[in-house]
Protein backbone atom coordinates (compact mmCIF):
# COMPACT_ATOMS: atom_id res chain seq x y z
CA UNK A 1 0.00 0.00 0.00
CA UNK A 2 2.98 2.33 -0.43
CA UNK A 3 3.89 2.43 3.23
CA UNK A 4 7.42 2.09 4.58
CA UNK A 5 8.32 1.20 8.13
CA UNK A 6 11.39 2.99 9.47
CA UNK A 7 12.87 1.33 12.53
CA UNK A 8 15.37 3.30 14.57
CA UNK A 9 18.30 1.05 15.38
CA UNK A 10 21.18 2.60 17.31
CA UNK A 11 21.61 0.47 20.43
CA UNK A 12 21.51 0.67 23.33
CA UNK A 13 19.09 3.64 23.47
CA UNK A 14 18.63 4.97 19.91
CA UNK A 15 20.41 8.20 20.76
CA UNK A 16 20.64 10.46 17.74
CA UNK A 17 24.36 10.48 17.05
CA UNK A 18 25.68 12.47 14.10
CA UNK A 19 25.94 9.26 12.08
CA UNK A 20 22.44 8.16 13.04
CA UNK A 21 20.97 11.59 12.19
CA UNK A 22 22.67 11.62 8.82
CA UNK A 23 21.51 8.12 7.91
CA UNK A 24 18.00 8.96 9.04
CA UNK A 25 17.93 12.09 6.87
CA UNK A 26 19.25 10.24 3.81
CA UNK A 27 16.71 7.40 4.23
CA UNK A 28 13.92 9.90 4.56
CA UNK A 29 15.04 11.76 1.45
CA UNK A 30 15.09 8.48 -0.52
CA UNK A 31 11.56 7.64 0.62
CA UNK A 32 10.38 11.16 -0.20
CA UNK A 33 11.73 10.75 -3.75
CA UNK A 34 10.12 7.34 -4.18
CA UNK A 35 6.74 8.11 -5.69
CA UNK A 36 5.38 4.68 -4.70
CA UNK A 37 5.70 5.57 -1.01
CA UNK A 38 2.91 7.65 0.50
CA UNK A 39 3.37 6.98 4.18
CA UNK A 40 5.97 6.07 6.79
CA UNK A 41 5.52 4.40 10.15
CA UNK A 42 8.30 5.48 12.47
CA UNK A 43 9.18 3.08 15.26
CA UNK A 44 12.09 1.56 17.16
CA UNK A 45 13.92 -1.70 17.15
CA UNK A 46 15.46 -1.11 20.60
CA UNK A 47 13.38 -2.86 23.26
CA UNK A 48 11.61 -0.39 25.54
CA UNK A 49 13.15 2.70 23.97
CA UNK A 50 11.77 4.75 21.11
CA UNK A 51 14.70 7.18 21.22
CA UNK A 52 16.76 8.71 24.05
CA UNK A 53 16.92 11.89 21.97
CA UNK A 54 19.97 13.80 20.88
CA UNK A 55 23.23 12.08 21.65
CA UNK A 56 24.64 13.76 24.73
CA UNK A 57 28.13 12.69 23.74
CA UNK A 58 27.86 14.83 20.60
CA UNK A 59 27.16 17.85 22.81
CA UNK A 60 29.68 17.24 25.55
CA UNK A 61 33.46 17.69 25.52
CA UNK A 62 33.72 18.46 21.79
CA UNK A 63 34.86 21.56 19.94
CA UNK A 64 32.69 24.40 18.55
CA UNK A 65 33.08 23.17 14.94
CA UNK A 66 31.69 19.80 15.97
CA UNK A 67 28.75 21.37 17.81
CA UNK A 68 27.97 23.49 14.73
CA UNK A 69 28.12 20.48 12.41
CA UNK A 70 25.97 18.41 14.74
CA UNK A 71 23.35 21.12 15.12
CA UNK A 72 23.16 21.70 11.36
CA UNK A 73 22.28 18.03 10.97
CA UNK A 74 19.71 18.15 13.79
CA UNK A 75 18.04 21.08 12.01
CA UNK A 76 18.17 19.25 8.67
CA UNK A 77 16.47 16.14 10.02
CA UNK A 78 13.80 18.19 11.77
CA UNK A 79 13.02 20.24 8.66
CA UNK A 80 12.75 17.11 6.51
CA UNK A 81 10.52 15.30 8.97
CA UNK A 82 8.32 18.22 9.88
CA UNK A 83 7.73 19.31 6.29
CA UNK A 84 7.51 15.83 4.77
CA UNK A 85 4.85 15.37 2.12
CA UNK A 86 4.40 11.80 3.27
CA UNK A 87 2.00 10.70 5.98
CA UNK A 88 4.06 10.07 9.10
CA UNK A 89 2.70 7.94 11.92
CA UNK A 90 4.81 7.17 14.96
CA UNK A 91 4.47 3.88 16.77
CA UNK A 92 6.04 4.87 20.07
CA UNK A 93 7.12 1.60 21.60
CA UNK A 94 9.31 2.91 24.39
CA UNK A 95 10.78 5.86 26.25
CA UNK A 96 10.81 9.04 24.22
CA UNK A 97 12.52 11.94 26.01
CA UNK A 98 13.61 15.25 24.39
CA UNK A 99 14.82 14.62 20.82
CA UNK A 100 12.87 11.34 20.88
CA UNK A 101 9.72 13.29 21.61
CA UNK A 102 10.71 15.74 18.88
CA UNK A 103 10.74 12.93 16.31
CA UNK A 104 7.29 11.83 17.40
CA UNK A 105 5.93 15.39 17.39
CA UNK A 106 6.98 15.74 13.73
CA UNK A 107 4.59 12.96 12.81
CA UNK A 108 0.99 13.48 11.72
CA UNK A 109 -0.29 10.97 14.28
CA UNK A 110 1.21 9.39 17.38
CA UNK A 111 0.30 5.98 18.79
CA UNK A 112 1.96 5.10 22.11
CA UNK A 113 2.30 1.80 23.96
CA UNK A 114 0.39 1.69 27.22
CA UNK A 115 3.31 0.99 29.53
CA UNK A 116 3.77 3.38 32.46
CA UNK A 117 7.53 2.77 32.33
CA UNK A 118 7.62 4.63 29.02
CA UNK A 119 7.60 8.40 29.25
CA UNK A 120 7.57 11.14 26.65
CA UNK A 121 8.19 14.88 26.71
CA UNK A 122 10.68 17.67 26.23
CA UNK A 123 12.75 17.33 29.41
CA UNK A 124 15.64 19.63 28.41
CA UNK A 125 15.29 21.84 31.49
CA UNK A 126 16.07 18.82 33.71
CA UNK A 127 19.44 18.56 31.98
CA UNK A 128 20.20 22.24 32.60
CA UNK A 129 19.75 23.04 28.92
CA UNK A 130 17.01 24.88 27.04
CA UNK A 131 14.77 23.53 24.29
CA UNK A 132 15.44 25.61 21.16
CA UNK A 133 12.62 27.86 19.91
CA UNK A 134 11.62 25.47 17.14
CA UNK A 135 11.21 22.55 19.58
CA UNK A 136 9.07 24.93 21.63
CA UNK A 137 7.06 26.10 18.61
CA UNK A 138 6.18 22.53 17.69
CA UNK A 139 5.21 21.74 21.29
CA UNK A 140 2.95 24.79 21.39
CA UNK A 141 1.40 23.77 18.03
CA UNK A 142 0.68 20.33 19.45
CA UNK A 143 -0.47 20.88 23.05
CA UNK A 144 -1.17 24.61 23.26
CA UNK A 145 0.68 27.47 24.91
CA UNK A 146 -0.21 26.92 28.55
CA UNK A 147 0.52 23.19 28.65
CA UNK A 148 3.75 23.71 26.69
CA UNK A 149 4.85 26.53 28.98
CA UNK A 150 4.37 24.38 32.06
CA UNK A 151 5.80 21.18 30.57
CA UNK A 152 8.88 22.94 29.16
CA UNK A 153 9.73 24.71 32.41
CA UNK A 154 9.27 21.57 34.49
CA UNK A 155 10.84 19.28 31.87
CA UNK A 156 7.83 17.02 32.28
CA UNK A 157 8.12 13.45 31.11
CA UNK A 158 4.53 12.28 30.70
CA UNK A 159 3.29 8.73 31.23
CA UNK A 160 1.27 7.43 28.27
CA UNK A 161 -2.02 8.25 30.03
CA UNK A 162 -0.87 11.80 30.84
CA UNK A 163 0.54 12.26 27.34
CA UNK A 164 -2.83 11.31 25.89
CA UNK A 165 -4.67 13.66 28.22
CA UNK A 166 -2.52 16.65 27.36
CA UNK A 167 -2.35 15.80 23.64
CA UNK A 168 1.33 14.88 23.27
CA UNK A 169 0.10 11.60 21.75
CA UNK A 170 -3.14 10.84 19.89
CA UNK A 171 -3.78 7.32 21.06
CA UNK A 172 -2.57 4.88 23.71
CA UNK A 173 -2.97 1.17 23.05
CA UNK A 174 -1.77 -2.10 24.61
CA UNK A 175 1.89 -2.64 23.82
CA UNK A 176 1.28 -5.58 21.48
CA UNK A 177 -1.12 -3.49 19.39
CA UNK A 178 1.05 -0.45 18.71
CA UNK A 179 2.07 -1.56 15.24
CA UNK A 180 -1.32 -2.84 14.12
CA UNK A 181 -2.93 0.38 15.35
CA UNK A 182 -0.34 2.49 13.52
CA UNK A 183 -1.15 0.54 10.35
CA UNK A 184 -4.88 1.01 10.73
CA UNK A 185 -4.40 4.73 11.34
CA UNK A 186 -2.24 4.87 8.22
CA UNK A 187 -4.97 3.18 6.17
CA UNK A 188 -7.41 5.87 7.24
CA UNK A 189 -5.02 8.69 6.32
CA UNK A 190 -4.18 7.05 2.97
CA UNK A 191 -7.82 7.37 2.00
CA UNK A 192 -7.45 11.15 1.81
CA UNK A 193 -6.28 12.47 -1.58
CA UNK A 194 -2.57 13.29 -1.34
CA UNK A 195 -2.76 16.73 -2.95
CA UNK A 196 -5.38 18.11 -0.57
CA UNK A 197 -3.81 16.53 2.50
CA UNK A 198 -0.33 17.77 1.55
CA UNK A 199 -1.50 21.33 0.87
CA UNK A 200 -3.34 21.34 4.18
CA UNK A 201 -0.30 20.02 6.05
CA UNK A 202 1.86 22.64 4.41
CA UNK A 203 -0.61 25.37 5.36
CA UNK A 204 -0.52 24.23 9.00
CA UNK A 205 3.25 23.79 9.30
CA UNK A 206 4.92 26.24 6.90
CA UNK A 207 5.16 29.21 9.26
CA UNK A 208 6.82 27.12 11.96
CA UNK A 209 9.34 25.62 9.53
CA UNK A 210 10.02 29.00 7.89
CA UNK A 211 10.74 30.46 11.30
CA UNK A 212 13.78 28.21 11.56
CA UNK A 213 14.72 28.39 7.86
CA UNK A 214 15.07 32.16 8.02
CA UNK A 215 17.46 31.99 10.97
CA UNK A 216 19.26 28.69 10.59
CA UNK A 217 22.75 30.16 10.77
CA UNK A 218 21.96 32.28 13.83
CA UNK A 219 20.38 29.23 15.50
CA UNK A 220 23.56 27.21 14.88
CA UNK A 221 25.64 29.98 16.40
CA UNK A 222 23.31 30.26 19.40
CA UNK A 223 23.49 26.55 20.01
CA UNK A 224 27.26 26.45 19.63
CA UNK A 225 27.93 29.27 22.04
CA UNK A 226 25.31 28.02 24.52
CA UNK A 227 26.52 24.43 24.59
CA UNK A 228 30.18 25.50 24.77
CA UNK A 229 29.64 27.42 28.02
CA UNK A 230 31.46 25.93 31.01
CA UNK A 231 28.29 26.02 33.10
CA UNK A 232 26.31 24.08 30.46
CA UNK A 233 29.10 21.56 29.98
CA UNK A 234 29.13 21.10 33.76
CA UNK A 235 25.37 20.46 33.79
CA UNK A 236 25.74 17.88 31.02
CA UNK A 237 28.58 16.22 32.87
CA UNK A 238 26.46 15.93 36.00
CA UNK A 239 23.53 14.55 34.01
CA UNK A 240 25.74 11.93 32.30
CA UNK A 241 27.14 10.94 35.70
CA UNK A 242 23.61 10.57 37.03
CA UNK A 243 22.75 8.27 34.13
CA UNK A 244 25.81 6.14 34.93
CA UNK A 245 25.09 6.02 38.66
CA UNK A 246 21.55 4.83 38.01
CA UNK A 247 23.10 1.49 37.05
CA UNK A 248 25.42 1.02 40.02
In degrees, to the nearest 5, what angle opens at C-alpha 98 toward C-alphas 105 and 6?
A: 55
Residue 60 binds to ligand LCMDX3IU (criterion: CB under 6 A): no
The dihedral built from the CA positions of residue 62, 65, 68 and 70, taken in this order, carries a sign that is: negative
Task: Determine if the peptide bond prior to 169 is cis (ω within 30°).
Answer: no
Q: Quick one: which of 13, 107, 111, 178 contacts ligand LCMDX3IU (CB under 6 A)?
A: 13
CB of 165 vs ligand LCMDX3IU, minimal distance in Å: 21
CB of 157 vs ligand LCMDX3IU, minimal distance in Å: 8
CB of 198 vs ligand LCMDX3IU, minimal distance in Å: 28
Stretch that binds ligand LCMDX3IU, among 31-39, 95-103, 170-178, 183-191 (CB under 6 A): 95-103
Residue 246 binds to ligand LCMDX3IU (criterion: CB under 6 A): yes
Residue 189 binds to ligand LCMDX3IU (criterion: CB under 6 A): no
Q: CA nearest 122: which of 155, 93, 145, 144?
A: 155
Catalytic positions, written as ranges: 54, 99, 123-124
Q: Backbone phi, then psi, for 204, in 5-degree steps?
A: -75, -30
In three-state secondary structure terms, 118 is coil
Q: Quick one: which of 77, 81, 104, 129 contacts ligand LCMDX3IU (CB under 6 A)?
A: 129
Burial class (CB in 10 A: 0-12, 13-18, 19+), 35: exposed
Those residues with Cβ within 8 angstroms of residue 137's Cβ, 6 or more apart along the chain or in another chain:
208, 211
Q: Quick one: which of 222, 228, 233, 235 contacts ligand LCMDX3IU (CB under 6 A)?
A: 222
Residue 137 binds to ligand LCMDX3IU (criterion: CB under 6 A): no
Residues forming a β-bridge with 91:
111
Q: Which residue is nearest to ligand LCMDX3IU (CB)?
A: 53
Q: Which residues in 15-54 contact ligand LCMDX3IU (CB under 6 A)?
A: 15, 49, 52-54
- Distances in Å between the alpha carbon of 240 and those of 57, 82, 103, 149, 212? 9, 29, 22, 26, 29
Q: How far apart are CA 198 and CA 190, in angstroms?
A: 11
Residue closer to ligand LCMDX3IU by CB (options 10, 84) is: 10
Residue 95 binds to ligand LCMDX3IU (criterion: CB under 6 A): yes
CB of 202 vs ligand LCMDX3IU, minimal distance in Å: 26
DSSP state of 214: T
Q: How far apart are CA 70 and CA 56, in angstroms?
A: 11
Q: Which residues bind ligand LCMDX3IU (CB under 6 A)?
A: 12-13, 15, 49, 52-57, 95, 97-99, 123-124, 127, 129-130, 132, 222-223, 226-227, 243-244, 246-247
Amino acid sequence: MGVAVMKLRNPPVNSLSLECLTEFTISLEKLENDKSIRGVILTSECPGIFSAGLDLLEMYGRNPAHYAEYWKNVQELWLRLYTSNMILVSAINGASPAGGCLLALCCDYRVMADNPKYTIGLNESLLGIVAPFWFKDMYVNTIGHREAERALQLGTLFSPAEALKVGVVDEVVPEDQVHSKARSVMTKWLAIPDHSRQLTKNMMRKATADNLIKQREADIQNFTSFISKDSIQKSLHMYLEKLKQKKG
